[in-house]
Amino acid sequence: MRSGASSGPSCATRSRSPLRLPRTILHALPPPPAKGSAELHQEHQERERANTQKRGNSPQEAQAARPHRSLHPRVQASAPCAHHQCGRALSAKGPSELELGMLTRSDLGGTDRAFSNDIGAKIMTKAGFLFSSTTLALLALPVLPRSLSQAHPQQQAAKQVAKPGPGPKLSSQLRQKLQQASRAHPRLLVNATGIEALKARIAQDADMTAAAEALRAVADEILRAAPARRKMTGRRLLHVSRQVLERVSQLSLCYLLTGEAAYAERAAKEMLAAAEFSDWNPSHFLDVAEMTAALALGYDWCHDALDEATRTRIRQAIIQHGLRPSLKGGWWVSSSNNWNQVCHGGLSLGALAIHEYEPELAASILTRAVKNLPRAMQEYAPGGAYPEGPSYWLYGTTYNVIALAALHGTLGSDFGLSKQRGFLESSTYYLHMAGPTGLFFNYSDCGARSGISAAMYWFARERQDRSLLWRERKVLRNELAKFKRSGRAKLKELPFVLLWAPPLSDTETPTRLSFSAKGKTPVAAMRSSWSQDASYLAIKGGSPSANHAHMDVGSFVIDALGTRWACDLGMQSYHSLESQGIRLWDRDQKAQRWTVFRLSSYAHNVPVVNGKQQRVKGHAQLSFQRKLSMATVDLSPVYAGQLKSAQRLAQLLPDGSILIVDKLQAPADRSAQVRWAMLTRAKIRIRGKGQALLTRKGKRMIFHAKGPEDIQLRHYDTAKPRKPYDHPNKGTRMLGLELSIPAGQSRELRITLTPMRD
């Protein structure tokens, strides 16, 4: 730690001093309930039994005879619901609740008590009368969109059939583990013994020492900053939730490592400010999940430094703004994308932080998470390729890992989630998606640059494979050096790196030079070596219909000589488009999404046929020959109606050159006009028919195109915005060519890119 840091008995003394809750907040606290929710539930059961005895019916007969009166406007009295086995009826209009990922009774562990304890108690107390527990369950039904076309398109992802989660014994197993779980703090991701072990690792490893010193320096800066305020950006509060999470996690771990109460006091101020927000924006539930994670970690890690009033207020906020709003359900509950992972991950932290105060609520939240996380984790199968790209792998997988680590650390089990097919292997995917330049193969809505990935440290530990940290150690060192120079760096994941990192001094170089995996978005990546000037080629198949996808099926990136030569523009800020009325999340063939230049075929390294976009419903398979370092993508489905067939071969040659071969056949009844183009940041000098010299940062690459006829290379401007809502793409351009394919005939294009090594 930095010189001058307090130590010894004085630190320990200050760490025990309780934090005082401001008087204004004390006055705002609600009075304690006269009876707990469990007591109210017991009274309700006793009254039910008494009424049954008066009528002379058995409990089963009484339940069958009792009419089910819907309290939800979308539930009608018609045919019985077969899904819930409770005799109530669902509307025949619109999509089913299960298709939209509705929170059902079975999602909460197959018991009514979760509802009657957590929701019913307040309703019964305030309304002055009792509902049956089944009727109370209906209160948790979400207001469904009138049609899937009017809802966020990710809602449609919830319709996909997923492998079933854990069996019916899960609920009782999880409740038993909660009852046996330690009540001590800290317990989320680390306990007191783990903190002592972490201190020892920091003392023994130079990289860990530097990381811990940076953590303290960042925490010292936060001490002087005002707490975050509830300020929306468009329809999102997400940036505020992330700011609170970053601050609270950094301050709280710094408190655990130093024992200095000042860090816990500042974390408490941040959490209390968030607790006073009117809500955490449940209409965009990622915001709620990340804020819940922030307060859960701060509450747990700073617990012993907080006075009881402060603990109570933070705990109430976790329950009222985080956990209970999730009982309304939503499409994200059983979706197959990163929303599932982030929401269940953040809520799981909240549930584990307060489980002894709300055991039924916590059990319900955790049971639902363990049952539904496999729906998102199936996307890693079979080989680890993540369909949303490396940036969203980092987002969704980090929260997935947090959920698994918290479950295992608190309950002693992750309930088999880490054994989901392709999940552990996905860390190899992430490693290979970064080229020698450090830039990602940023397909879909991904950026080319990324900071520290804490999840990779967890994977390295779980798989006992330190080669997974080959890139991460470099990124960590670069970010720490940047912070030391300028005080600015991407260090938001630093607390989790410290918790999960093995000693970094003996990180190994990977041995595999290539990676490929099938799945929803199949990919292949290959390199000549793991040196910084190695040649690297990555290519993708898949479909524009995938979550966050672009019209980029068959697109590729190329690194060589420490430079990226073939590029991808990546995403454009969602808010910049949504604020101008763009319906960004529609995905039909004529959707506005595809009019955004960066998302269209025109911006990617793919053929454009007859000036049209790729086919949204098409899906291109990818095959890979490891010995030849060659991938083949069958593009025919994404050019259906434009070409009879389309094949793209991409190969890394033994001398480090890159070969791209396109075999295209026009339909029998019409010709095809094809534009072939590659996006680059290099300067282009066309030197003759089919040849050009690319130069960038003093490096040179020869581009050579060969076809059945004379080829005239040309430039295509990409820097200037095409439409008012397009962002400029400064410093970029396309090099390409055009050819005509007569009806029924085929053409083959061979593009070779050769790095000029001195």
**Tens digit of each residue's pLDDT (9 = 90 or more) over 111-152:** 333 333 333 333 333 333 333 333 333 333 333 333 333 334
Per-residue pLDDT at 487: 85
Q: Tell me the sheet residues that pair with 19.
A: 306
- On the CB side of 528, how many CA atoms lie within 13 Å of its CA? 20
User: Exposure pattern of 243-277 as b/e (b: 16+ CB <10 Å)?
Assistant: bbbbbbbbbbbbbbbbbbbbbbbbbbbbbbebbeb
Q: How far is the C-alpha of 319 from the C-alpha of 461, rounded, in Å?
A: 33
Q: Using alpha carbons only, what angle is made at residue 173 by residues 172 and 179, rounded to the nearest 5 degrees?
A: 85
Residue 12, pLDDT > 50, answer no
Q: Tell me the sheet residues that pair with 564.
A: 559
**Interval 635-670: pLDDT, tens:** 999 999 999 999 999 999 999 999 999 999 999 999
Lookup result for tokens 């730690």? 1
**Distant-in-sequence, close-in-space partners of 484: CB < 8 Å, separation ≥ 6:** 214
Contact 365, 351 (CB under 8 A): yes
Per-residue pLDDT at 366: 98
Calculate the alpha carbon distances from 488 to 2, 218, 253 in Å. Answer: 18, 9, 20
Cα 29 to chain center, whole Å? Answer: 35
Q: What percent of the chain has pLDDT over 70?
A: 78
More confident residue, 166 or 499: 499
Contact 143, 331 (CB under 8 A): no
Per-residue pLDDT at 450: 83
Per-residue pLDDT at 6: 36
Answer whether the bond into residue 325 is a cis peptide, omega within 30°.
no
* Per-residue confidence band for 85, with pLDDT thresholds at 50, 70 and 90: very low
Per-residue pLDDT at 623: 98
Per-residue pLDDT at 420: 97
**Interval 503-520: pLDDT, tens:** 887 789 999 999 999 999
Per-residue pLDDT at 169: 78
Q: How far is the C-alpha of 375 from the C-alpha of 369, rounded, in Å?
A: 10
- Average pLDDT value for residue range 692-700: 97
- Average pLDDT value for residue range 318-334: 97
Distance between first and last Cα of the chain: 45
Q: How far is the C-alpha of 100 from the C-alpha of 87, rounded, in Å?
A: 21
Per-residue pLDDT at 27: 36
Q: Taking phi first (over 0 means left), then psi (-120 to 50 degrees means alpha), and beta for anything else, what does residue 563 get?
A: beta
Per-residue pLDDT at 682: 98
* Per-residue confidence band for 495, with pLDDT thresholds at 50, 70 and 90: very high
- Average pLDDT value for residue range 203-217: 96
Q: Where are the beta strands (DSSP E) in 528-596?
A: 536-540, 556-560, 563-566
**Distant-in-sequence, close-in-space partners of 322: CB < 8 Å, separation ≥ 6:** 280, 288, 289, 291, 292, 295, 296, 346, 347, 350
CB-CB neighbours of 642 under 10 Å: 24
Per-residue pLDDT at 370: 98
Residue 28, pLDDT > 80, answer no
Tokens representing residue 323 in the block: 């956990």
* Per-residue confidence band for 206, with pLDDT thresholds at 50, 70 and 90: very high
Residue 567, pLDDT > 50, answer yes
Residue 73, pLDDT > 80, answer no
* Per-residue confidence band for 698, with pLDDT thresholds at 50, 70 and 90: very high
Per-residue pLDDT at 168: 59
Tokens representing residue 373 in the block: 């996380």
**Best CA proximity match to 446, nearest among 600, 622, 584, 569:** 569
Lookup result for tokens 């290099």? 682
Provide the mean pLDDT of the chain. 83
Per-residue pLDDT at 149: 32
Calculate the alpha carbon distances from 645 to 259, 639, 658, 687 in Å. Answer: 66, 8, 23, 32
Per-residue pLDDT at 477: 95
432: part of which helix (H) or strand (E)? helix 426-432
Q: What does R_g of the chain's alpha carbons equal in angstroms?
A: 28
Collapsing DSSP to helix, strand or coil, 684 comes out as strand
Contact 722, 597 (CB under 8 A): yes
Residue 100, pLDDT > 50, answer no
Q: What are the structural domains of the chain?
A: 37-151 (no CATH), 514-755 (2.70.98.70)
Strand 645-652 relative to strand 658-665, pairing: antiparallel
Per-residue pLDDT at 88: 32
- As a three-state string, the secondary structure of 465-503 is CHHHHHHHHHHHHHHHHHHHHHCCCCCCCHHHHHHHCCC
Residue 569, pLDDT > 90, answer yes
**Best CA proximity match to 599, nearest among 430, 446, 738, 448:** 446
Q: Tell me the sheet residues that pair with 633.
A: 622, 648
Contact 434, 390 (CB under 8 A): yes
- Average pLDDT value for residue range 455-475: 96
Cα 593 to chain center, whole Å? Answer: 21
